[in-house]
C-alpha cells in the first residue's frame, strides 16, 4: 500500500511530518494513515526521542486534565473511571484466523473477520476533534538482540506519558533500522473514546482489547486503566509470547534481580515468576540486593548462554500497603519530588497522595477515583467508597531507586541468568524453597504446577486455588502444551542451564497464620544463591532438594537476627505426599482442559512423578520429615 503523503501531512505539523518522513518506513506510514482516517483525530503529534517531546506529552496530559498537579511539582495524579479500575479480561480477546481458532479457543478467541469488523466499527471517528500522539518505544534495550520495536498511536496523553516512564525510547532505533527489519515491529492503537467531565471513558460497554498475533497489532478502545490501555505492557507481552514461540526464545512474567553474597564480590542473577499479587515486586526489592526489573523478562540464547533483559525501564506498581516499614525504598521514592504518576489514589486537601496501608494518617476528604470524596460516601450501588482503589498504582522510573542495577539493566546482551524461581501462593503444600534436580524437572514440576490462592482482599471464598502455569496464564498466546515445550527446549545446546527453584512465602501453620515473615525471602534467595555456587548441603525429597536446618539457622540469624526453630523447620520443610499428588492431578487436568492436543510427554511426566511420590508415601509415610527420604 502506498501512503497518501498529502493526507498524512494534513494531519500533522511540518516538524511532525519531517520526523515521520525521516524514518522511511512504508508500513509505519500506512498504519498511521489507516488509523488517522478511521479514528479521525483533529491532528497527530509525532514524537522523536528528545526531551522536548516528552515534556510536551506531560504538559498536554496536565492541560487536558488527564493528569492533575500535586504539591510536589514533578508528581501528577490520574484517575480512571470508577468502573475502569482493572484489566478487563472478558473484553480482551485474540482475533484468530480460522487455522488458529480452535487451538487458541481456551485462551479466549473471536473469529478474525468478526472481531476485526467489530473493533474497526468502534474505532470509526473515535478520536474526532482530539489530538492524537504517536511515539516509538523499544521492548528491551534498543539496538540489541532482544529489541522489539513498537509504535503507540493513542489519543491519551496519560497513556503516552506512562509509556515515557515505563519504556525505553526507540525513535532512533526506527531511524536506524535496516531495510530487512522495517516490517518487524508491534503496533498499538488506543483510544479512550468519549470522556466525561472528569476525563474518564464513558462507553465502557464498548470497551474492547483485541489482539492480532499474526499481524502484531493490538486494538484497544474505550478504556484508560493502564492494564487495558498501555500497548507496551500486557498487550505487547501477549504478542511477544506468540512471537517468541515462533522464533524459539522466551517472554516471561518475571522479575529480574541480582543477589549478592556476604562479601559482595559476587553478583548472581535470578529471574522469578510469581502470579499477580504473589511477590514479584517485593522479591526484586528485597533490601540489600539489586533490582533489574519487576514484571516482564525476555530470554535469549546468546552464544550458548541463558541471558535475560528487563523489557521495561519503570515500575507500574501496586501501591496498597506500600509503607515505610514494608517497602522502605519505594516509599521513600514516592515522597520525593521526582517524576511520578499516581493513579486512582486519594489526593488530599493538601494535594499530597494517600492510599490504603500507607502508614500515614489519612484525611477524611479529598479527590479519588470516584470524584470528590468524603469518608463514608457510598457509590451508586450503595457500597462504601474506600479512600483509594485497592488496585491503585504508582508509575516511576527504575533508575530513581538506590538498589537499581544499572549495569545489568543497560547490558545490550542481557545478564547471564543462573537461577530461575517459581513461586505461588500456597498455604499447605510446597516448601519455602526447593531446588529442582534439572531444568526439565523444574519446568514440569515447579513451573507448570504453579497455583495462586485467592486472598481476603478479593471477593469470594478465601483460599480457592487457581492454576497459574509459569505465572503466565493470562498472557500465553499460543497453545499451552506448545508453550511448555518451548520452555523445555529453550535450553538445548546451552553451555550451562540455570538452576530452577520453587519458593513459597505463604505456607500457613495449624493456626491459619503465615509461618514466615515478609523478609524471610532474603534467606531463601541467599540459600539458592549459595547452592548455585556449590555452597550448601541439601536433603533429597521426591520433588527436589531442600536446605539443611543448620544452614537456615545461620542465614536467619545473619540476615534477620531471628532464631529459626527446629519445629518451624520441620513443619515448613516436610514433604506432604497427598497434597502433592492432588496438586499434580489438578495440573494434569488443567492442561488437558486448556490444551487437549498437548503432547503425551507432559502427562507421562506427571504420571511418573506421581508414581514416585506414591512409592515414597508407602515407604516413609504420608508426611515425610526433612532428611528421612532416601529415594
Residues that bind ligand GTP (CB under 6 A): 274, 276-282, 318, 321, 505-506, 514, 518, 521
Sheet holding 365-368, edge to edge: 353-354, 346-347, 365-368, 371-374
Of residues 116 and 519, the one with the C-beta less far from ligand GTP: 519
Closest approach of Cβ 593 to Mn ion, in Å?
28
The answer to whether 395 contacts Mn ion (rule: CB under 5 A) is no
Q: Which does 521 bind (CB under 5 to 8 A by kind): Mn ion, ligand GTP, none?
A: ligand GTP
Q: Are 54 and 164 spatial neighbours (Cβ–Cβ below 8 Å)?
A: yes
Residue 367 φ/ψ, nearest 5 degrees: -120, 135
Question: Total number of residues binding Mn ion (CB under 5 A)?
Answer: 2
Q: Which does 7 bind (CB under 5 to 8 A by kind): Mn ion, ligand GTP, none?
A: none
Of residues 108 and 390, the one with the C-beta less far from ligand GTP: 390
Of residues 282 and 301, the one with the C-beta less far from ligand GTP: 282
Of residues 104 and 523, the one with the C-beta less far from ligand GTP: 523
Residue 442 DSSP symbol? I
Task: From the candidates 150, 164, 251, 278, give the one annotated as an active-site residue.
Answer: 278
- Residue-wise burial string across 100-126, b where 16 or more C-beta atoms lie within 10 A, e elsewhere: beebbeebbbbebeebbebbbebbeeb
| Helix, strand, coil in percent for the chain, rounding step 5 | 35, 25, 40
For residue 152, what is its C-alpha cell?
A: 503507540
CA–CA separation, 174 and 172 (whole Å): 5
Q: Which does 279 bind (CB under 5 to 8 A by kind): ligand GTP, Mn ion, none?
A: ligand GTP
Closest approach of Cβ 150 to ligand GTP, in Å?
21
Closest approach of Cβ 277 to ligand GTP, in Å?
4
Q: Which does 278 bind (CB under 5 to 8 A by kind): ligand GTP, Mn ion, none?
A: ligand GTP
Closest approach of Cβ 579 to ligand GTP, in Å?
19
Residue nearest to Mn ion (CB): 281
Q: What angle do CA 54, 170, 342 make, to 5 degrees?
A: 40
Which residue do the cell numbers 508500513 mark? Answer: 27
Of residues 186 and 505, the one with the C-beta less far from ligand GTP: 505
Q: Are 292 and 310 spatial neighbours (Cβ–Cβ below 8 Å)?
A: yes
Closest approach of Cβ 281 to Mn ion, in Å?
3
CA–CA separation, 564 and 142 (whole Å): 46
Site string for Mn ion, 261-300 (x = CB under 5 A): -------------------xx-------------------
Q: Which does 78 bind (CB under 5 to 8 A by kind): ligand GTP, Mn ion, none?
A: none
Of residues 199 and 503, the one with the C-beta less far from Mn ion: 503
Q: Are 508 and 517 spatial neighbours (Cβ–Cβ below 8 Å)?
A: no
What is the rounded radius of gyration, in angstroms, for the C-alpha atoms of the chain? Answer: 25
Which residue do the cell numbers 530470554 mark? Answer: 299
Q: Which does 518 bind (CB under 5 to 8 A by kind): ligand GTP, Mn ion, none?
A: ligand GTP
CA–CA separation, 261 and 156 (whole Å): 45
Residue 498 DSSP symbol? P
Of residues 506 and 575, the one with the C-beta less far from ligand GTP: 506
Of residues 199 and 281, the one with the C-beta less far from Mn ion: 281
Q: Which does 274 bind (CB under 5 to 8 A by kind): Mn ion, ligand GTP, none?
A: ligand GTP
Q: Are 206 and 122 spatial neighbours (Cβ–Cβ below 8 Å)?
A: yes
Q: Is 327 exposed, middle or buried (0-12, 13-18, 19+ CB in 10 A)?
A: buried
Q: Is 253 exposed, middle or buried (0-12, 13-18, 19+ CB in 10 A)?
A: buried
Of residues 75 and 281, the one with the C-beta less far from Mn ion: 281
Closest approach of Cβ 30 to ligand GTP, in Å?
35
Closest approach of Cβ 295 to Mn ion, in Å?
6
Residue 234 DSSP symbol? I
Nearest-CA neighbor of 340 among 81, 139, 166, 199?
A: 166
Cα of 471 vs its chain's centroid, Å: 9
Of residues 367 and 397, the one with the C-beta less far from ligand GTP: 397
Q: Is the dihedral of CA 555, 557, 562, 564 positive or negative?
A: positive
Closest approach of Cβ 489 to ligand GTP, in Å?
27
Q: How many CB atoms lie within 10 A of CB 594?
A: 18
Closest approach of Cβ 183 to Mn ion, in Å?
33
Residue 586 three-state SS: helix
Closest approach of Cβ 37 to Mn ion, in Å?
38
Q: Which does 161 bind (CB under 5 to 8 A by kind): ligand GTP, Mn ion, none?
A: none
Q: Which of residues 234-253 bind Mn ion (CB under 5 A)?
A: none
Q: Name residues whose C-beta falls within 8 Å of residue 285's C-beta, 6 or more positions apart in sequence.
A: 291, 294, 327, 329, 330, 403
Closest approach of Cβ 43 to ligand GTP, in Å?
36
Q: Are 522 and 262 spatial neighbours (Cβ–Cβ below 8 Å)?
A: no
Q: Is the dihedral of CA 352, 357, 363, 365 positive or negative?
A: positive
Note if 278 is an active site residue. yes
Q: Name residues whose C-beta falls within 8 Å of residue 101's C-beta, 6 or more positions apart in sequence.
A: 109, 111, 112
Residue 123 φ/ψ, nearest 5 degrees: -70, -20
Of residues 72 and 519, the one with the C-beta less far from ligand GTP: 519
Q: Which residues lie across from 220 on neighbouring strands?
A: 190, 209
CA–CA separation, 366 and 229 (whole Å): 26
The residues annotated with a catalytic role in the active site are 278
Q: Please give the residue ranges that form the binding site for Mn ion (CB under 5 A).
A: 280-281
Amino acid at each position: 500500500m502506498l501512503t497518501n503523503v498529502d493526507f498524512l501531512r494534513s494531519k500533522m505539523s511540518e516538524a511532525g511530518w519531517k520526523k515521520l518522513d525521516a524514518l522511511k518506513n512504508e508500513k509505519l506510514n500506512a498504519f498511521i494513515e489507516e488509523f488517522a482516517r478511521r479514528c479521525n483525530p483533529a491532528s497527530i503529534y509525532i514524537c522523536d526521542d528528545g526531551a522536548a517531546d516528552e515534556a510536551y506529552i506531560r504538559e498536554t496530559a496536565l492541560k487536558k486534565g488527564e493528569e492533575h498537579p500535586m504539591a510536589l511539582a514533578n508528581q501528577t495524579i490520574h484517575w480512571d473511571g470508577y468502573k475502569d479500575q482493572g484489566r478487563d479480561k472478558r473484553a480482551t480477546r485474540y482475533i484468530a484466523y480460522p487455522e488458529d481458532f480452535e487451538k487458541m479457543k481456551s485462551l479466549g478467541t473471536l473469529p478474525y473477520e468478526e472481531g476485526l469488523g467489530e473493533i474497526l466499527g468502534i474505532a470509526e471517528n473515535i478520536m474526532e476533534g482530539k489530538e492524537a500522539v504517536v511515539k516509538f518505544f523499544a521492548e528491551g534495550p534498543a539496538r540489541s538482540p532482544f529489541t522489539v520495536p513498537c509504535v503507540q498511536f493513542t489519543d491519551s496523553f496519560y497513556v503516552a506519558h506512562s509509556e515515557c516512564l515505563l519504556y525505553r525510547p526507540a525513535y532512533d532505533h526506527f531511524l536506524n533500522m535496516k531495510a530487512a527489519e522495517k516490517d518487524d515491529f508491534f503496533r498499538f492503537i488506543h483510544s479512550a473514546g468519549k470522556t466525561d467531565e472528569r476525563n474518564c471513558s464513558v462507553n465502557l460497554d464498548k470497551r474492547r482489547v483485541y489482539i492480532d498475533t499474526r499481524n502484531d497489532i493490538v486494538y484497544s478502545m474505550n478504556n484508560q486503566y493502564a492494564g487495558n490501555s498501555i500497548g507496551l505492557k500486557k498487550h505487547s507481552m501477549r504478542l511477544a509470547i506468540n512471537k517468541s514461540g515462533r522464533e524459539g526464545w522466551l517472554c516471561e512474567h518475571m522479575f529480574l534481580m541480582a543477589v549478592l553474597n556476604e562479601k559482595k564480590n559476587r553478583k548472581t542473577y535470578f529471574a522469578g515468576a510469581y502470579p499477580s499479587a504473589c511477590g514479584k515486586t517485593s522479591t526484586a526489592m528485597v533490601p540489600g540486593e539489586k533490582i533489574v526489573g519487576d514484571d516482564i523478562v525476555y530470554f535469549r540464547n546468546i552464544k550458548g548462554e541463558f541471558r535475560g533483559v528487563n523489557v521495561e525501564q519503570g515500575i507500574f506498581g501496586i501501591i496498597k500497603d506500600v509503607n515505610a516499614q514494608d517497602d522502605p525504598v519505594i516509599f521513600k521514592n514516592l515522597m520525593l519530588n521526582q517524576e511520578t504518576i499516581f493513579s486512582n489514589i486519594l489526593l488530599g486537601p493538601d494535594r499530597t497522595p494517600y492510599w490504603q496501608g500507607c502508614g500515614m494518617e489519612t484525611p477524611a476528604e479529598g479527590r479519588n477515583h470516584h470524584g470528590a470524596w468524603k469518608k463514608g460516601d457510598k457509590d451508586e450501588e450503595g457500597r462504601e467508597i474506600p479512600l483509594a482503589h485497592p488496585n491503585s498504582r504508582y508509575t516511576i522510573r527504575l533508575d530513581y531507586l538506590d538498589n537499581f542495577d544499572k549495569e545489568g539493566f543497560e547490558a545490550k546482551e542481557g545478564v547471564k541468568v543462573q537461577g530461575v524461581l517459581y513461586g505461588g501462593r500456597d498455604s499447605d503444600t510446597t516448601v519455602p524453597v526447593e531446588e529442582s534436580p534439572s531444568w526439565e524437572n523444574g519446568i514440569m514440576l515447579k513451573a507448570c504446577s504453579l497455583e495462586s490462592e485467592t486472598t481476603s482482599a478479593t471477593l469470594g471464598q478465601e483460599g480457592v486455588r487457581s492454576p497459574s502455569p509459569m505465572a503466565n496464564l493470562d498472557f500465553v498466546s499460543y497453545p499451552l502444551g506448545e508453550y511448555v515445550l518451548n520452555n523445555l527446549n529453550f535450553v538445548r545446546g546451552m553451555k550451562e542451564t540455570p538452576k530452577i527453584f520453587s519458593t513459597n512465602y505463604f505456607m500457613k501453620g495449624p493456626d491459619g497464620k503465615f509461618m514466615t515473615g515478609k523478609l524471610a525471602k532474603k534467606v531463601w534467595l541467599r540459600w539458592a544463591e549459595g547452592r548455585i555456587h556449590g555452597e550448601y548441603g541439601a536433603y533429597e525429597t521426591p520433588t527436589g532438594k531442600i536446605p539443611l536446618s543448620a544452614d537456615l539457622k545461620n542465614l536467619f540469624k545473619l540476615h534477620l537476627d531471628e532464631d529459626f526453630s527446629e519445629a518451624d523447620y520441620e513443619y515448613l520443610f516436610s514433604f506432604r505426599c497427598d497434597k502433592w499428588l492432588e496438586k499434580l492431578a489438578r495440573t494434569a487436568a488443567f492442561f488437558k482442559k486448556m490444551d487437549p492436543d498437548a503432547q503425551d510427554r507432559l502427562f507421562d511426566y506427571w504420571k511418573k512423578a506421581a508414581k514416585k511420590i506414591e512409592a515414597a508415601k508407602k515407604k516413609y509415610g504420608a508426611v515425610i520429615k526433612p532428611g528421612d527420604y532416601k529415594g
